[in-house]
């Protein structure tokens, strides 16, 4: 965001590489975006200064902190919020990658190790988690995006250490690998089933919410398709675009409610609200993680993250329609992904986007989105 790089709003500048650079640039940006001293003395605060105040409390290692800041800036200026997201996302991603590398780059001689998953009273025999030694005490390494320990969907027997939790039993496979399973009928099984039920409820809630967004999109399409009004000029009936025309834009400045353009703004609002960090993070949590489907979920959510500024009514109607269709497509894809149990093949989900899966040097699946010629956000 130009605000964060020292040139004020609405100017193209390089992305800052660190939070320090971002804040330093913001301070310089104020100098180019100051308001009239008389207005300032009357208590008026410029958009840029308001954003700076919000930014002071941002913790880029916390998705919640970034989400809260984004939503506050959204109230001040959707454009500023969009630029904030574009600038902060690389920093957040870099921080999470740093923590991921720390969690996964471990050896038996280091101060980190892999153990059986047990956190806050929840034990999962199908996973392992990473822990690190802090002041002589082993503690889980927490993923800031999920607020849970970094984990793997596997259980390597030679990494299991410590006491088997109550309600579980130890199992030794023929190949010598050690794992554990919940004892049928035990309180641990009841807890495990309750956790699964709670997770299923959260998933269904997100699916329902995404379905409501699709209904909002349908409402927007109805307004879009019926935006032409007829005005009589002499003996002729002239069709006028009541949303995207210059006259409609000028009339909107009067603040009169109930106009087609004002109604369109109201219809778009809940769609934009659901493109915030917290809403998209909730959909990520309800989607498959890891493997090919996890990569697809990340690609779909990244596309939605970029779509915040794509629904402006100040663009051409054709561009607006194309962008709205793209948002609609990715929401439909996310509903299919959230409905999956994670074991399906990509082709089985019949997504509205085409994906290609190749094999990496280490045998891992690499997913690539194969886009047709579509308008960019």
For residues 89 and 152, give the distance between their C-alpha atoms in angstroms, rounded to a whole number.
25
88 and 214 together in one domain: no
Structure confidence at residue 376 (pLDDT): 39
Across residues 71-86, what is the average pLDDT? 72
Residue 154 resides in a domain: yes
Which of 139, 154, 183 is a domain's end point? 183
301 and 320 together in one domain: yes
pLDDT in tens, 119-171: 877 777 777 788 888 777 888 888 776 778 877 665 444 444 456 778 888 77
229 and 334 together in one domain: yes
317 and 203 together in one domain: yes
Percent of the chain with pLDDT over 90: 17
For residues 230 and 164, give the distance between their C-alpha atoms in angstroms, rounded to a whole number.
76
Contact 4, 87 (CB under 8 A): yes
Nearest to 87 by CA among 57, 55, 49, 45: 55
- Residues sharing a CB contact under 8 Å with residue 115, sequence separation 6 or more, in sequence order: 128, 129, 131, 138, 159, 160, 161, 162
The model's pTM? 0.55
For residues 198 and 192, give the distance between their C-alpha atoms in angstroms, rounded to a whole number.
10
Q: Tell me how long the chain is.
A: 377
For residues 85 and 69, give the distance between their C-alpha atoms in angstroms, rounded to a whole number.
10
Residue 317 resides in a domain: yes
281 and 163 together in one domain: no
Across residues 42-46, what is the average pLDDT? 62
Q: What are phi and psi of 125, to 5 degrees?
A: -70, -10
Residue 112 resides in a domain: yes
- Please state, as a whole number, how many other Cβ atoms lie within 10 Å of the Cβ of residue 269: 12
Which of 85, 103, 121 is a domain's end point? 103
- Residues sharing a CB contact under 8 Å with residue 306, sequence separation 6 or more, in sequence order: 377
Which of 157, 183, 209 is a domain's end point? 183
Residue 221: pLDDT band with limits 50, 70, 90: very high
142 and 217 together in one domain: no
pLDDT over 70 (residue 374)? no
Structure confidence at residue 13 (pLDDT): 45
Judge residue 201's burial from the number of C-beta atoms within 10 Å of its C-beta, 0-12 exposed, 13-18 middle, 19 or more buried.
Answer: exposed
* For helices 47-55 and 78-104, angle between their N-to-C axes, nearest 10 degrees: 20
Q: What are phi and psi of 283, to 5 degrees?
A: -70, -35
Q: Which two tokens stand for residue 357?
A: 């899966």
For residue 154, how many C-alpha atoms fall within 13 Å in the half-sphere facing its CB?
A: 10
202 and 330 together in one domain: yes
For residues 69 and 50, give the distance between their C-alpha atoms in angstroms, rounded to a whole number.
11
What b-and-e string marks burial along 360-374, b requiring 16 or more CB atoms within 10 Å of the CB?
eeeeeeebeeeeeee
Residue 377 resides in a domain: no
For residue 62, how many C-alpha atoms fall within 13 Å in the half-sphere facing its CB?
A: 9
Helix (H, G, I), strand (E, B) or coil at 299: helix
Q: Which two tokens stand for residue 192?
A: 């495990």
7 and 152 together in one domain: no
156 and 234 together in one domain: no
- Please state, as a whole number, how many other Cβ atoms lie within 10 Å of the Cβ of residue 134: 10
For residues 366 and 299, give the distance between their C-alpha atoms in angstroms, rounded to a whole number.
12
Residue 328: pLDDT band with limits 50, 70, 90: very high
Residue 141 resides in a domain: yes
Residue 321 resides in a domain: yes
275 and 348 together in one domain: yes
DSSP for residue 158: G
Residue 334: pLDDT band with limits 50, 70, 90: very high
Q: Are strands 168-172 and 178-182 parallel, antiparallel or unpaired?
A: antiparallel
Number of structural domains, the chain?
3
177 and 197 together in one domain: no
78 and 58 together in one domain: yes
Distances 62 to 66, 181, 233 between C-alpha atoms, Å: 6, 34, 59
Q: What is the domain range of residue 170?
A: 106-183
Residue 376 resides in a domain: no
DSSP for residue 342: S
């Amino acid at each position: 965001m130009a605000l964060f790089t020292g040139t004020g709003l609405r100017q193209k500048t390089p992305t800052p590489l660190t939070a320090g650079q971002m804040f330093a640039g913001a301070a310089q940006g104020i100098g180019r975006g100051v308001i009239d001293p008389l207005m300032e003395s009357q208590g008026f605060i410029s958009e840029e200064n308001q954003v700076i105040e919000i930014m002071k409390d941002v913790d880029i290692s916390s998705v919640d902190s970034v989400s809260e800041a984004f939503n506050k800036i959204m109230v001040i200026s959707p454009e500023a919020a969009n630029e904030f997201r574009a600038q902060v996302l690389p920093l957040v991603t870099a921080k999470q990658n740093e923590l991921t590398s720390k969690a996964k780059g471990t050896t038996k001689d280091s101060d980190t190790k892999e153990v059986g998953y047990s956190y806050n009273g929840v034990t999962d025999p199908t996973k392992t988690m990473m822990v690190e030694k802090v002041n002589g005490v082993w503690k889980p390494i927490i993923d800031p995006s999920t607020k849970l320990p970094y984990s793997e969907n596997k259980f390597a027997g030679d990494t299991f250490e410590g006491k088997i939790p109550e309600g579980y039993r130890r199992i030794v496979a023929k190949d010598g690998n050690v794992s554990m399973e919940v004892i049928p009928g035990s309180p641990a099984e009841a807890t495990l089933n309750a956790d699964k039920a709670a997770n299923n409820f959260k998933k269904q809630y997100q699916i329902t919410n995404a379905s409501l967004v699709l209904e909002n999109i349908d409402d927007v399409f109805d307004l879009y398709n019926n935006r032409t009004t007829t005005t009589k000029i002499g003996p002729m009936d002239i069709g006028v675009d009541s949303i995207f025309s210059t006259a409609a834009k000028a009339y909107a400045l009067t603040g009169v409610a109930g106009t087609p353009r004002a109604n369109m703004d109201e219809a778009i609002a809940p769609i934009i609200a659901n493109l915030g960090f917290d809403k998209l993070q909730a959909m990520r949590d309800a989607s498959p993680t890891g493997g090919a489907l996890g990569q697809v979920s990340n690609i779909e959510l990244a596309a939605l993250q970029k779509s915040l500024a794509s629904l402006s009514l100040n663009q051409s109607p054709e561009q607006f329609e194309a962008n709205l269709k793209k948002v609609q497509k990715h929401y439909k894809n996310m509903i299919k992904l959230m409905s999956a149990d994670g074991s399906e093949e990509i082709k089985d989900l019949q997504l509205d986007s085409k994906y290609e899966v190749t094999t990496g040097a280490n045998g891992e699946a690499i997913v690539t989105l194969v886009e047709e010629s579509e308008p960019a956000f």
